[in-house]
Amino acid sequence: MSFVTAIRRMENADLDRVLEIEEESFVTPWTRRDWLYELTENPINVIFVLDVIENGIKEIAGFIDFMVTFSSSTISQIAIAKKYRKQHLGTELLNKMIEHLKNEYNEIVETITLEVRTHNQAAIAFYEKHGFEGVLIKPAYYSNGEDALYMVRRLI
Ligand SMILES: CC(C)(COP(=O)(O)OP(=O)(O)OC[C@H]1O[C@@H](n2cnc3c(N)ncnc32)[C@H](O)[C@@H]1OP(=O)(O)O)[C@@H](O)C(=O)NCCC(=O)NCCS
Protein backbone atom coordinates (compact mmCIF):
# COMPACT_ATOMS: atom_id res chain seq x y z
CA MET A 1 0.00 0.00 0.00
CA SER A 2 1.23 3.53 -0.68
CA PHE A 3 -0.08 6.07 1.74
CA VAL A 4 1.05 8.91 3.94
CA THR A 5 0.38 9.04 7.65
CA ALA A 6 -0.42 11.74 10.18
CA ILE A 7 -0.80 11.51 13.95
CA ARG A 8 -3.12 13.78 15.94
CA ARG A 9 -5.12 13.88 19.19
CA MET A 10 -8.30 11.79 19.17
CA GLU A 11 -11.61 13.69 18.92
CA ASN A 12 -15.22 12.67 19.67
CA ALA A 13 -15.89 12.25 15.92
CA ASP A 14 -13.29 9.45 15.84
CA LEU A 15 -15.15 7.25 18.31
CA ASP A 16 -16.97 4.95 15.84
CA ARG A 17 -13.81 4.08 13.91
CA VAL A 18 -11.77 3.64 17.10
CA LEU A 19 -14.43 1.22 18.40
CA GLU A 20 -14.22 -0.80 15.15
CA ILE A 21 -10.46 -1.19 15.60
CA GLU A 22 -10.92 -1.91 19.31
CA GLU A 23 -13.34 -4.76 18.56
CA GLU A 24 -11.11 -6.46 16.03
CA SER A 25 -8.04 -6.09 18.23
CA PHE A 26 -8.84 -7.11 21.80
CA VAL A 27 -10.18 -10.21 23.59
CA THR A 28 -12.37 -8.08 25.86
CA PRO A 29 -12.81 -4.81 23.97
CA TRP A 30 -13.52 -1.59 25.78
CA THR A 31 -17.09 -0.37 25.32
CA ARG A 32 -18.22 3.00 23.94
CA ARG A 33 -18.71 4.10 27.55
CA ASP A 34 -15.12 3.08 28.44
CA TRP A 35 -13.84 5.07 25.47
CA LEU A 36 -15.98 8.08 26.30
CA TYR A 37 -14.48 8.09 29.79
CA GLU A 38 -10.95 7.96 28.33
CA LEU A 39 -11.78 10.72 25.89
CA THR A 40 -13.74 13.15 28.02
CA GLU A 41 -13.18 12.42 31.74
CA ASN A 42 -9.85 10.74 32.40
CA PRO A 43 -7.65 13.64 33.56
CA ILE A 44 -4.28 11.91 33.17
CA ASN A 45 -4.36 10.26 29.78
CA VAL A 46 -3.44 11.19 26.21
CA ILE A 47 -4.88 9.54 23.09
CA PHE A 48 -3.32 9.82 19.66
CA VAL A 49 -4.86 8.42 16.47
CA LEU A 50 -2.92 7.69 13.30
CA ASP A 51 -4.58 8.60 9.99
CA VAL A 52 -3.58 7.02 6.71
CA ILE A 53 -4.21 9.18 3.66
CA GLU A 54 -4.36 7.44 0.29
CA ASN A 55 -5.59 9.07 -2.92
CA GLY A 56 -7.03 11.91 -0.85
CA ILE A 57 -9.06 9.53 1.35
CA LYS A 58 -8.35 9.56 5.07
CA GLU A 59 -8.95 6.67 7.47
CA ILE A 60 -7.89 6.03 11.06
CA ALA A 61 -5.53 3.03 11.10
CA GLY A 62 -4.80 2.87 14.81
CA PHE A 63 -4.50 4.55 18.17
CA ILE A 64 -2.45 4.74 21.35
CA ASP A 65 -3.86 5.65 24.77
CA PHE A 66 -1.45 6.27 27.63
CA MET A 67 -1.35 7.93 31.01
CA VAL A 68 1.26 9.67 33.08
CA THR A 69 1.62 9.20 36.81
CA PHE A 70 4.64 10.84 38.46
CA SER A 71 7.82 9.35 36.95
CA SER A 72 6.07 6.65 34.96
CA SER A 73 3.87 6.47 31.88
CA THR A 74 1.64 3.46 31.20
CA ILE A 75 0.32 2.32 27.84
CA SER A 76 -3.37 1.58 28.41
CA GLN A 77 -4.06 0.51 24.82
CA ILE A 78 -2.35 0.44 21.45
CA ALA A 79 -3.91 -1.10 18.35
CA ILE A 80 -3.56 -1.03 14.59
CA ALA A 81 -6.44 -2.18 12.36
CA LYS A 82 -5.72 -5.67 11.02
CA LYS A 83 -5.35 -4.58 7.41
CA TYR A 84 -2.63 -2.06 8.34
CA ARG A 85 -0.53 -4.23 10.67
CA LYS A 86 3.15 -5.02 10.10
CA GLN A 87 3.78 -1.77 8.25
CA HIS A 88 5.44 0.05 11.15
CA LEU A 89 2.37 2.12 12.01
CA GLY A 90 2.38 0.82 15.60
CA THR A 91 6.01 1.93 15.72
CA GLU A 92 5.00 5.41 14.53
CA LEU A 93 2.43 5.68 17.34
CA LEU A 94 4.87 4.47 20.00
CA ASN A 95 7.50 6.94 18.75
CA LYS A 96 4.90 9.73 18.92
CA MET A 97 4.17 8.83 22.54
CA ILE A 98 7.90 8.89 23.36
CA GLU A 99 8.33 12.25 21.62
CA HIS A 100 5.35 13.64 23.58
CA LEU A 101 6.77 12.40 26.90
CA LYS A 102 10.18 13.89 26.15
CA ASN A 103 8.66 17.22 25.12
CA GLU A 104 6.11 17.54 27.92
CA TYR A 105 7.78 15.70 30.80
CA ASN A 106 11.49 16.02 30.06
CA GLU A 107 13.46 14.21 32.79
CA ILE A 108 10.27 13.70 34.85
CA VAL A 109 8.93 10.55 33.21
CA GLU A 110 11.66 7.92 33.51
CA THR A 111 9.93 4.69 32.52
CA ILE A 112 7.16 3.36 30.30
CA THR A 113 5.23 0.35 31.60
CA LEU A 114 2.43 -1.88 30.35
CA GLU A 115 0.63 -5.17 30.87
CA VAL A 116 0.17 -7.59 27.97
CA ARG A 117 -1.57 -10.98 27.79
CA THR A 118 1.05 -13.71 27.99
CA HIS A 119 -0.41 -15.39 24.87
CA ASN A 120 -0.13 -12.18 22.81
CA GLN A 121 3.13 -13.05 21.07
CA ALA A 122 2.74 -10.37 18.36
CA ALA A 123 2.45 -7.59 20.93
CA ILE A 124 5.26 -9.00 23.10
CA ALA A 125 7.53 -9.17 20.02
CA PHE A 126 6.52 -5.59 19.15
CA TYR A 127 7.38 -4.32 22.62
CA GLU A 128 10.66 -6.29 22.80
CA LYS A 129 11.66 -4.81 19.44
CA HIS A 130 11.17 -1.40 21.06
CA GLY A 131 13.33 -2.06 24.10
CA PHE A 132 10.72 -3.24 26.62
CA GLU A 133 11.66 -6.07 28.98
CA GLY A 134 9.23 -8.45 30.67
CA VAL A 135 9.95 -8.09 34.39
CA LEU A 136 7.22 -10.13 36.07
CA ILE A 137 4.05 -12.14 35.53
CA LYS A 138 0.82 -10.89 37.12
CA PRO A 139 -1.21 -14.10 37.63
CA ALA A 140 -4.89 -14.09 36.55
CA TYR A 141 -4.68 -10.37 35.80
CA TYR A 142 -7.43 -10.43 33.16
CA SER A 143 -11.13 -11.16 33.69
CA ASN A 144 -10.87 -14.51 31.82
CA GLY A 145 -8.14 -15.63 34.23
CA GLU A 146 -5.27 -15.04 31.83
CA ASP A 147 -1.89 -13.91 33.16
CA ALA A 148 -0.29 -10.60 32.24
CA LEU A 149 3.34 -9.98 31.47
CA TYR A 150 4.41 -6.65 33.02
CA MET A 151 6.90 -4.93 30.75
CA VAL A 152 9.09 -1.90 31.36
CA ARG A 153 11.30 0.34 29.25
CA ARG A 154 13.50 3.16 30.48
CA LEU A 155 12.86 6.49 28.81
CA ILE A 156 15.89 8.35 30.15
C1 LIG B 1 0.89 -4.85 18.61
C2 LIG B 1 0.50 -4.02 17.38
C3 LIG B 1 -0.01 -2.66 17.85
C4 LIG B 1 1.76 -3.82 16.52
O5 LIG B 1 1.45 -2.91 15.48
P6 LIG B 1 2.12 -3.02 14.02
O7 LIG B 1 1.90 -1.73 13.33
O8 LIG B 1 1.62 -4.24 13.33
O9 LIG B 1 3.67 -3.21 14.39
P10 LIG B 1 4.95 -2.69 13.58
O11 LIG B 1 4.74 -2.94 12.12
O12 LIG B 1 5.27 -1.29 13.98
O13 LIG B 1 6.05 -3.71 14.15
C14 LIG B 1 7.33 -3.31 14.62
C15 LIG B 1 8.10 -4.56 15.00
O16 LIG B 1 7.39 -5.29 16.01
C17 LIG B 1 7.51 -6.71 15.77
N18 LIG B 1 6.21 -7.28 15.42
C19 LIG B 1 5.06 -6.61 15.14
N20 LIG B 1 4.06 -7.49 14.88
C21 LIG B 1 4.59 -8.73 14.97
C22 LIG B 1 4.06 -10.04 14.79
N23 LIG B 1 2.76 -10.23 14.44
N24 LIG B 1 4.88 -11.09 14.98
C25 LIG B 1 6.18 -10.92 15.33
N26 LIG B 1 6.75 -9.68 15.49
C27 LIG B 1 5.96 -8.61 15.32
C28 LIG B 1 8.49 -6.85 14.61
O29 LIG B 1 9.81 -6.92 15.15
C30 LIG B 1 8.29 -5.54 13.85
O31 LIG B 1 9.42 -5.12 13.13
P32 LIG B 1 9.67 -5.67 11.62
O33 LIG B 1 8.38 -5.47 10.86
O34 LIG B 1 10.77 -4.81 11.12
O35 LIG B 1 10.00 -7.13 11.77
C36 LIG B 1 -0.55 -4.77 16.52
O37 LIG B 1 -0.13 -6.12 16.30
C38 LIG B 1 -1.94 -4.80 17.11
O39 LIG B 1 -2.73 -3.88 16.96
N40 LIG B 1 -2.30 -5.89 17.83
C41 LIG B 1 -3.64 -6.03 18.42
C42 LIG B 1 -3.81 -5.17 19.63
C43 LIG B 1 -2.78 -5.52 20.69
O44 LIG B 1 -2.47 -6.67 20.96
N45 LIG B 1 -2.27 -4.46 21.36
C46 LIG B 1 -1.30 -4.58 22.42
C47 LIG B 1 -2.02 -4.93 23.68
S48 LIG B 1 -0.96 -4.77 25.10
Which residues span the domain enclosing 34? 4-112
Between the alpha carbon of residue 110 and those of residues 42, 73, 90, 93, 98, the distances in Å are 22, 8, 21, 19, 11
For 3-34, b where at least 16 C-beta lie within 10 A, e where not — what string? bebebeebeeebeebbbebbeebeeebbeeee
**How far from 42 is each of 47, 93, 134, CA to CA, in Å?**
11, 20, 27
Q: Is residue 57 part of a domain?
A: yes
Q: Ligand 1, residues 48, 63, 86: which to mutate, most atoms within 8 A of Cβ?
A: 86
Collapsed DSSP state (helix, strand, coil) of residue 156: coil
Cβ of 61 less than 6 Å from ligand 1: no
What is the tally of structural domains in the chain?
1
12-54 tens-digit pLDDT: 999 999 999 999 999 999 999 999 999 999 999 999 999 999 9
At 91-129, the pLDDT tens digits run 999 999 999 999 999 999 999 999 999 999 999 999 999
Any domain includes 118: no
Confirm whether 135 is domain-assigned.
no
CB distance 91 to ligand 1 below 6 Å: yes
CA distance 75 to 64: 7
Residue 12 lies in a domain: yes
Residue 9, domain CATH: 3.40.630.30
Angle formed by the axes of helices 15-25 and 32-40, to 10°?
Answer: 120
